[in-house]
């Protein structure tokens, strides 16, 4: 739960995995396609897993920068987060689930300090908080 919404995004999707999705402000308008691995045609569109990977990695980098500001350390501009989102049948119960693996590259930081910052960012990132306890999320600090 949140105390008060600071921002609310709005998007509309038609056609599901083989449709279109667009935001109400016109900044995002995409075609969706299902990957061959999920029985689709692997067309030119994107898919929900790619969108989740992009959203989570961007949000997590924002959380990492916020943690850095709080600790008075600058997170380098060339910091990267490579996110992989997998989909498959759930190990328990019906339906499908996702798993996330992120590799964080923090140039100029000692490995232990980078691991510490990533762990702290995982506690404050909205995506991490939304998925905690329901999605396997694994971090590797390069």
pLDDT tens digit sequence for 11-61:
999 999 999 999 999 999 999 999 999 999 989 999 999 999 999 999 999
Average pLDDT of the residues of the chain: 96
Query: Is the same domain home to 90 and 133?
Result: yes
Looking at residue 42, what is its pLDDT?
86
Looking at residue 37, what is its pLDDT?
94
Q: Which residues form the domain of 111? A: 48-141
End-to-end CA distance of the chain: 33
Reference 81, options 117, 110, 48; nearest CA is: 117
Q: Residue 123 sits in a domain of what CATH number? A: 3.30.300.20
What band does 108 get if pLDDT is binned at 50, 70 and 90? very high
Query: Is the same domain home to 107 and 121?
Result: yes
Sign, CA dihedral 33-35-41-46, equals positive
Q: Residue 17 sits in a domain of what CATH number? A: 2.20.25.10
20 vs 6: CA distance, rounded Å: 27
Query: Is the same domain home to 16 and 40?
Result: yes
Report which secondary-structure segment, H or E, holds 124.
helix 111-124
Query: Is the same domain home to 126 and 60?
Result: yes
Domain count, the chain: 2
| Single pTM value for the model | 0.94
Give the residue with greater pLDDT, 43 vs 63.
Answer: 63
């Amino acid at each position: 739960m949140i105390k008060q919404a600071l921002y609310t995004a709005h998007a509309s999707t038609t056609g599901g995995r083989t449709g279109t999705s667009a935001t109400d402000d016109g900044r995002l308008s995409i075609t969706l396609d299902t990957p061959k691995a999920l029985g689709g045609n692997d067309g030119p569109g994107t898919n929900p897993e790619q969108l989740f990977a992009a959203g989570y990695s961007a949000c997590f980098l924002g959380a990492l920068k916020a943690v850095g500001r709080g600790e008075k350390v600058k997170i380098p501009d060339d910091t990267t987060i490579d996110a992989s989102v997998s989909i498959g049948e759930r190990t328990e119960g019906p339906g499908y689930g996702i798993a996330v693996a992120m590799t964080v590259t923090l140039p100029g930081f000692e490995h232990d300090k980078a691991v510490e910052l990533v762990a702290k960012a995982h506690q404050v990132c909205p995506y991490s908080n939304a998925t905690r306890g329901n999605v396997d999320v694994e971090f590797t600090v390069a």
